[in-house]
Chain A
Amino acid sequence: MSTWIVIVAVGLGSYLFRLSMVILTGRITMPAYLERASGLVAPAAFAALAAAGVAEACGGHGLTQAAAPLIAVAAAVIAVLRTGSPQAAILAGLPALWVATALLPS
């Protein structure tokens, strides 16, 4: 139940954000530091979610199996740096995860 409430609440709040300045136009000016901060939220959120996701994938396995997600992330980082394409992370990382999981002793 709370899942639905959360999604509706986030949706409603997001719509009010979208509508806010269209309605209040000209009456409020946003401080510059808030604009700088808002540009940093997405990278920070992505980094936090990525770190938590990788840590979760490493947990609950033996020591050697926990290395598989780390190997996959390393492959993803190298692929992105080499190609400059964000999509390369999945294309390189996922096969690396499969190979590492298959080869590492459990």
Chain B
Amino acid sequence: MVPWLAGIVPFGLVIGVSAAQADIPAMAGWLTGPLIYAGSSQVATIGMLDAGAAPVIVVASALIINIRLIFYSATMARYWRGTPWWWRLAAAYLIVDPSVAVGLDGYQRLSRDRAHAHYFGGAVLLWVCWLAAIGAGATVGAGLPAWLHLEFVMPLYLVGAVVPKVTSPAQRRAILAAATVALLALSAPLQLGIALAIAAGVIAGLTAEPRR
């Protein structure tokens, strides 16, 4: 879990800072943490609300980004058969990229009972650190001077996240197509550009040769 925390804490801080710079209530920005609890979707929600996108477009875009959670749900479901319903309700809430990775590792190495504890412990630790990081970022980000241009921290973070992915042909196509459409559709009504760009990116990526 520790390597994951080293990766997600800076992301949480950046989301907090960008929420503090955005034109939305400070509490709303932080609440994306416990309510949405998936970084990339939180970034899209905060960014599109800040840009004044239509509510329906924001919800649709953020949920499209989170479709992967359905696959994670399917992945974990096979290990959670026979657990109490309340346990499954809570465990499902904690499903997100790092908790699934850590959880799967446990289910492959440990006995079923210990693996459940391994998943839950790691996932709760992740949850606490994530919310604390967003809160810290929002608190610090709100008090810093304008010349620091903290509104540019999120674009830079995203650049850093995207650049290493260009080595995969499918992801490279997705990234180039999405960035191009986002720029072309900058003045699209209702901030529809981001949604169009995501769709274009996914379609372009699917046209690449499937990896075997």
Contacts and interface: CB of A to CB of B under 8 A. Distances in A.
Interface centre among B78, B159, B197 (most CB of A within 10 A): B159
B212 interface: no
A50 interface: yes
B162 A25 contact: no
Given A10-B41, A35-B71, A51-B183, A41 B159 contact: no
Interface residues of A, number: 68
A76 B159 contact: yes
B156 interface: yes
B80 interface: yes
Contacts of A24: 77
A86 B170 contact: no
A88 interface: yes
Interface string A1-38: 01111111111011101111111111000100111111
Interface of B: 10, 14, 24-25, 28, 31-32, 34-38, 40-41, 43-45, 47, 49, 51, 55, 58-59, 61-78, 80-81, 88-89, 91-93, 95, 147-149, 151-165, 170-171, 174-183, 186, 193-194, 197-198, 200-202, 205-206, 210
Given A19-B88, A41-B67, A44-B178, 14 more contacts: A3-B28, A8-B35, A10-B62, A19-B89, A38-B68, A43-B175, A49-B155, A52-B182, A53-B47, A57-B155, A80-B163, A86-B161, A89-B163, A90-B156
